[in-house]
Structures are given as structure tokens and as C-alpha cells.
Amino acid sequence: MNSKTKALEKIALGTAVMFGLYWLYSMVIRPQLLLSDGIKGMMGLAVLYGAGLGLFALITKKISTKPYAYQEKKRITFKTLVRSFLLQCTAFMILNVLAIVTSIFGGESSSTEMLPMTSSMLFMLLVFNPIVEEFVFRHLFAGKLLQYGQRFYILASAFCFALVHGVSVDFGHIIYTFILGMIWAYLTVQTGNIALAVLMHALSNFFNAIIIQMLFDISTEAVGIYSILLMALGVVGLVLFLKNRRKIILDGTPGLINRQTVKDLFSNKGIWFYTVLTLIVMLLKGK
């Protein structure tokens, strides 16, 4: 077993343990607590990013960590930022198409569930989640995996990031967040830090979630018009991506992913364990 395989196995196992502990708390312990929802939520964050992240660090501590920041910062062009934003709209478009298909076949999509937009919710979506999630899935993963290849890191980061959203939301959000994870991991590779990934994560939450939920207070027609606008931008993003995909250079060759990278990911025992665990939890929660 080579070092790349071992590193991914430990990363996947660490992620499974980290979120498995949180899912155990959410499904078994939290319902038994006679506390307010706010306190239960804070306890959940402590379990996930305190105890869970601590176990992740313990499991992955023997993987050599290498700095991934460029000695000379590579500037991201404004055009690249615009394309990244449009691709985030593409992810939203695909999510909505999946929701429509699901509804046609009589299913329900969690993407249609609206939650009250409180100040704490805004803080979580615009500040806490973008910073903490990018720190874990982009920064920590980059320190451990980027040394084995840019494509390898991008795909592993996006896949592990996406799977957890199948438990918290639904299957459609796995695909949605996988696309977003690819974008943010790519930006991390190109800049050598997570600053742009955090910014784009916050923008995604703002345009694809917060505005939509606020528009629901106005009218469903306003939501429909805004969603159509985002989906139109998503089409533009998809066309531009397909047109320029060969201009993406990773590991010295063009293209975002290749066959070997996919094989490295899905032949990994740690990834399989993490995937099976996630699917079991999704079934238990009825996702």
C-alpha cells in the first residue's frame, strides 16, 4: 500500500469518525436532552468541531503535512472569479432540476423546505460555516493530500465534503455540494490558501439560500423569477465550462479530473467505509 492510499484511508476514516460522532449525538442523544434548541445546537457544534475534529486530528496525525501556499502568490483573474460564480449557479440549476425530477416521481426534496432567517442563521451561513468547513475540507485536506496531486486533492476534498450533506439535507445536495466543493478546492489550489474558497462559499450561501428564503416572505412568484434567473446564469456557467475545460491545467496537464484519479478515490477502503456509513445514516434518517 503506497503513501497516497494510506493518507486517503486515514483522511476518510477521520472524516467518518468526526461526523459519525455528530450523527450519533443528533439522532440518539439530542432528542433525549431537556434543553432549548439553541443549547442543543451549540452542544452539537461542540461535538462536531470539538470532540469530532479532535479525533480527526488524532487519526490523521501520522500523515505528513506539507505547506501548500505558493511562495509567489498566483493571482486569480476577475474572469476566473466570474466563471466560478457562474458555476455555482450551475450547481444550483442542477439541484433544481433534480428537485423537479424528484417531485415528478412523487418524492419530496429538502431543497424546498424554508427555515426562518434569524440572525444566528445568517451568521452560520455567511460566517461560521464558510470559515470552518473550508478550514476542514479545503485547508486540512490540502495539507495532507495536495502533496499527492492536485486532481487527487480536489476530487477527494469535494467528495468527502459532499457526502455529509446527504445526511443533513438530501441526496440532491450531495451532487450540488460536490460541484461546489470542486470549485472551492480548485480555487484553493490556484491561490495556495482558502481565502477565496471562504468568500465563494459565503456568496453561494447568500445567493443560493439566503436571498431565496427572504423572497419567500414576499411571494412565491418572486422566488420563481429569481430561481429562473439563477438557473439561466447556471446555463451560461455550464457552457463556459465546457468551452474552456481544456484550459484548466492541473498536475501539468489539461483537464479537471482523469480516470486514474477517479480510480484512486473509489478503490480506497477508507472512502468505501465513509460512503457506506453515510448511506446507512441517510437510510436511518429517511433521506
Q: Is residue 184 part of a domain?
A: yes
Predicted pLDDT of residue 112: 44
Q: Is residue 282 part of a domain?
A: no
pTM beyond 0.75: the answer is yes
C-alpha cell of residue 135: 478550514
| Domain around 258 | 68-267
Mean pLDDT of all residues in 39-44: 95
Q: Is residue 73 part of a domain?
A: yes
Q: Is residue 31 part of a domain?
A: no
Q: Is residue 63 part of a domain?
A: no
Mean pLDDT of all residues in 21-29: 96
Count of the separate structural domains present in the chain:
1
Predicted pLDDT of residue 194: 96
Q: pLDDT tens digit string along 113-139?
A: 556 778 889 999 999 999 999 999 999
Whether the pLDDT of residue 69 is over 90: the answer is no
Whether the pLDDT of residue 109 is over 70: the answer is no
Q: pLDDT tens digit string along 203-261?
A: 999 999 999 999 988 888 999 999 999 999 999 999 999 999 999 999 999 999 999 99
Whether the pLDDT of residue 73 is over 90: the answer is no
Q: Is residue 246 part of a domain?
A: yes
What value does the mean pLDDT of the chain take? 92
C-alpha cell of residue 64: 505528513
